[in-house]
Amino acid sequence: MKIVSNSSPLIFLSAIALAIKQNADLILLDDLAGRRAAVAYGIEVMGTLGLLKVMYRKDLINNMKYVLDELQKHGFWISTDLYSKMLKD
């Protein structure tokens, strides 16, 4: 199994550079340093869980618990409190 980590600053800086070049209104980032850098450049940030919440509200996902469990199964860390909040909202 190969695991790819996006914790390298080069990855999020490349994403931010592309967002700036494309005049993007929003960037999808989970890395805290990347999120802070994007905000510093005036780019709105959404994480994976935020995107999932939008998809759920638009009925593109009908079983949030299954999706969250699959993310965790594949190494995506979600705090217990956030997991519960995602299921309630």
Q: Which domain holds residue 19?
A: 7-46
Residues 31 and 18 in one domain: yes
Question: 10-48, pLDDT tens digit by residue?
Answer: 788 899 999 999 999 899 999 899 999 999 999 999 999
End-to-end CA separation in angstroms for the chain: 34
User: Into how many domains does the chain fold?
Assistant: 2
Give the residue-averaged pLDDT of 48-62.
96
- Per-residue pLDDT of 25-34, as tens digits, reads 899 999 899 9
If pLDDT is split at 50, 70 and 90, which confidence band does 62 have?
very high
Whether 2 maps to a domain, the answer reads no
